[in-house]
């Protein structure tokens, strides 16, 4: 079994050209359809950058960016997930047809998110991040990063279950690059199998992340496909259920060969 692919669709203003809101909406929808044609099993729509130090996006603006894209892609029959930390954005996306909630705060940033997720019937990705995107890099201190990330995810799984989200709807993600330095990211990549002890499917998001230039030398994000494929294949070897990637067709090709020659 190879992992399913979650194709990344950023709908921040810098992602599409500035021909106005309608033009960028059409571009975003077209980009989502291309991800699906390339073989994405789900399209992950995100309207707020979680890069360290990125500006916070007001709720209404994040909904304006994401909900029309979710609706258009869902209406085409595609599976859509919403990458957000805000319950209001989740609500709008669910109403527009999203079937997965991807929250890098593991449903902690907004107190409404847990009950909303419980009532929704959607799948939920619980990702590990210490603090928030503004504070996380100052919190990259662990005695045993694998054990501590695992314990934190187990606590979020327990909180989700206590709020009424059945375990069968949960997916766990170690959160590569979120409040971790290079050595810690490598330790997590090396120990991915350990996270199966959580008892839920795993998602790995390592595509184009700064771990790649940290190990292999300077490379702009657009030049990180080779490293991204290496990390994706490591995820496949560790039997993650989902890979969150920018380069869907390329990842599919790598996975097809990996699957064909795997002992």
Catalytically active residues are 209, 244
Whose Cβ is closer to ligand 7PJ: residue 127's or residue 255's? Answer: 127
Whose Cβ is closer to ligand 7PJ: residue 73's or residue 211's? Answer: 211
Q: What residue has token string 């996380």?
A: 136
Binding interface with ligand 7PJ (CB under 6 A): 50, 83, 102, 104, 125, 127, 173, 175-176, 203, 205, 209, 244
Q: For residue 151, which phi and psi values (nearest 5 degrees)?
A: -65, -40
Contact 235, 4 (CB under 8 A): no
Closest Cα partner for 80 from 114, 46, 115?
46
Q: Is the C-alpha dihedral spanning 195, 198, 201, 203 positive or negative?
A: negative
Residue 179, CA distances (Å) to 87, 94, 99, 137, 223 in order: 23, 29, 28, 4, 23
What is the rounded CA–CA span in Å between residue 216 and residue 70? 36
Q: Is the C-alpha dihedral spanning 33, 258, 125, 215 positive or negative?
A: negative
Residue least distant from ligand 7PJ (Cβ)? 205
Whose Cβ is closer to ligand 7PJ: residue 91's or residue 244's? Answer: 244
In the complex, the smallest distance separating the C-beta of residue 245 from ligand 7PJ, rounded to whole angstroms, is 9
In the complex, the smallest distance separating the C-beta of residue 208 from ligand 7PJ, rounded to whole angstroms, is 6
In the complex, the smallest distance separating the C-beta of residue 178 from ligand 7PJ, rounded to whole angstroms, is 7
In the complex, the smallest distance separating the C-beta of residue 80 from ligand 7PJ, rounded to whole angstroms, is 14
Whose Cβ is closer to ligand 7PJ: residue 26's or residue 137's? Answer: 137
Closest Cα partner for 163 from 207, 100, 108?
108
Whose Cβ is closer to ligand 7PJ: residue 71's or residue 83's? Answer: 83
In the complex, the smallest distance separating the C-beta of residue 238 from ligand 7PJ, rounded to whole angstroms, is 15
């Amino acid at each position: 079994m190879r992992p399913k692919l979650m194709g990344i669709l950023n709908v921040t203003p810098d992602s599409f050209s500035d021909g106005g809101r309608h033009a960028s909406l059409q571009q975003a929808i077209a980009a989502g359809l291309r991800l699906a044609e390339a073989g994405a099993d789900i399209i992950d729509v995100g309207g707020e950058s979680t890069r360290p130090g990125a500006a916070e996006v007001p709720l209404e603006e994040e909904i304006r960016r994401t909900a029309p894209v979710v609706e258009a892609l869902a209406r085409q029959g595609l599976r859509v997930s919403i990458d957000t930390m805000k319950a209001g954005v989740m609500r709008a996306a669910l109403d527009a047809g999203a079937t997965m909630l991807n929250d890098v705060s593991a449903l902690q940033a907004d107190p409404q998110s847990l009950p909303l997720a419980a009532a929704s019937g959607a799948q939920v990705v619980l990702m590990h991040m210490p603090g928030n995107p503004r504070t996380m890099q100052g919190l990259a201190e662990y005695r045993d990063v694998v054990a501590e990330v695992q314990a934190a995810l187990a606590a979020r799984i327990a909180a989700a279950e206590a709020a009424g989200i059945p375990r069968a709807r949960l997916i766990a993600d170690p959160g590569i690059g979120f409040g971790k330095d290079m050595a810690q990211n490598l330790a997590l990549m090396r120990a991915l199998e350990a996270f199966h002890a959580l008892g839920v499917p795993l998602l790995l998001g390592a595509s184009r992340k700064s771990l790649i230039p940290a190990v292999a030398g300077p490379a702009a994000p657009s030049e990180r496909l080779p490293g991204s494929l290496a990390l994706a294949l490591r995820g496949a070897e560790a039997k993650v259920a989902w890979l969150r990637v920018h380069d869907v067709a390329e990842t599919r090709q790598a996975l097809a060969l990996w699957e064909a020659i795997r002992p």
